[in-house]
Amino acid sequence: MKKRIWTGLFAILLLLNLAVIPVHAIDLQLSAPSAVLMDLATGTVLYESNSHERLAPASVTKIMTLLLIMEAIDSGKISWTDQVTTSETAAAKGGSQVYLKVGETMSVEDMVKSITVSSANDCACAMAEFLAGSEAGFVEKMNLKAKELGMEDTRFVNCTGLDDDPSAEHHLTTAHDIALMSRELLLHHPDIKRFTTIWMDTVRDGTFGLSNTNKLVRFYEGTTGLKTGFTSSAGHCLSASAQRDGLELVAVVLHCPSSTDRFQSAKALLDYGFANYALVDAKGDTDLPPVEVVLGKSATVQPVPQGPEQLLIDKGKLSSVQYDVTLEPSIQAPVEKGAPLGTLTVKAGEEVLGEIPLVAESHIPRLTFTDLFTQMLRGICMAQ
């Protein structure tokens, strides 16, 4: 037990030595009152301005709605072809919609497409009822998921972000929390990008047209999503994601004075991120030789990196990245899986960018007395 505790502490201490990516002290002069830029792979915040201020998110709320839908699909709870029947409550939703009729059925796939591309409030409500029996029941799941993701400043009261009832004044979140749920959706449910990257499409067998409210899909290179929002109280909001050269970023801006301002602010954040940061493979092309195991049932154990698969670095250091491996010459059996074996140091010149623990890939038991006796006899027989 003590050995496992020390192994865990060793790993934690080495992970704490990972280089901290500097958030450049720069004023992007955004028109957005609240903003954040986050790296998708590592969750590192690259820029923020009032990112923890609690504000109304409007239809950016639907990122959480889509996250719960995608979880249900990916877990097999529902399928893309399931038919969803429209209730009176769903049909009565205002704002952006595809004008569902009471009793009308639509596939889960077309519902998701309508929510993602056209921000359809009626489809969001219909899907909430389909998954939880009622919008109120679905909202409970939204808040539980928010808590699970560490969205400490978020409270949802509906699945749409509409401010058409008195309780909507308590429907609040932050740019930082929106980035967290955006990252969760894009990172763990990438199939959503089939819809978030659509510019124009149709539902109802081609009879009803959809046009993406996120204009970056057409006008910003590498856009992967994600969701716009607007109400008179929330202003113009956006969670925008884009990918270039393997680096995917999410930029969130809230309460912008105009739609133009939200897109310009998001573009400025994304441009800044792509200009200043890059991802490198934490292991690179480094060969990790096996470590000798003394008195083990296997003669060697393979070291593997423990921690992030990628490191975020300052883009200016990309060309000078190098890897140094330090390994124990041998280790005494028994070897626990995850036992410390060494360190992989990532450098740019003499600067250490990160130190990644190298640990045992598998458990290697110690040779028993019987094993040793058998080996001795085998050695004698071979010598004769």
Q: What is the pLDDT of residue 344?
A: 93
The more confidently predicted of residues 263 and 3 is 263
Residue 53 has pLDDT above 60, yes or no: yes
Helices (H), 41-174: 62-74, 88-91, 108-118, 121-132, 135-148
Which residue matches tokens 């890897």?
323
Comparing 165-169, 191-195, 270-274, 326-330, the range with the smallest average pLDDT is 165-169
CB 302 within 8 A of CB 283: no
Q: What is the pLDDT of residue 375?
A: 61
Comparing 211-215, 257-261, 317-321, the range with the smallest average pLDDT is 317-321
Tell me if residue 160 falls in helix, strand or coil. coil
- What's the rounded Cα separation, in Å, for the pair 210 and 19? 45
Comparing 7-16, 74-83, 94-103, 357-366, the range with the smallest average pLDDT is 7-16
Indicate if 59 belongs to the active site.
yes
Q: What is the pLDDT of residue 361?
A: 95
Name which of 79, 62, 191, 68 is nearest 116 in CA terms: 62
Comparing 5-19, 277-291, 351-365, the range with the smallest average pLDDT is 5-19
Indicate if 119 belongs to the active site.
yes
Catalytic position from the list 49, 51, 62, 182: 62
Q: What is the pLDDT of residue 168?
A: 85
Catalytic position from the list 34, 59, 87, 182: 59
Q: What is the pLDDT of residue 286?
A: 84
Q: What is the pLDDT of residue 369?
A: 72
Comparing 18-22, 65-69, 110-114, the range with the smallest average pLDDT is 18-22
CB 223 within 8 A of CB 261: no
- Looking at every residue in the chain, the average pLDDT score rounds to 91
The per-residue pLDDT for range 109-123, each reduced to its tens digit, is 999 999 999 999 999
- Between strands 321-327 and 340-348, the pairing is antiparallel
Catalytic position from the list 118, 119, 182, 265: 119
- What's the rounded Cα separation, in Å, for the pair 85 and 104? 6
Instruction: For residue 12, count other CB atoms closer than 10 A to its CB.
Output: 10
The mean pLDDT value for 53-82 works out to: 98
Q: What is the largest CA-CA distance in the chain?
A: 93
- What's the rounded Cα separation, in Å, for the pair 236 and 147? 25
Comparing 81-85, 238-242, 362-366, the range with the smallest average pLDDT is 362-366
The per-residue pLDDT for range 214-252, each reduced to its tens digit, is 999 999 999 999 999 999 999 999 999 999 999 999 999
Indicate if 258 belongs to the active site.
no
Q: What is the pLDDT of residue 349?
A: 85
* pLDDT above 90 as % of the chain: 77
Which residue matches tokens 């109280």?
233
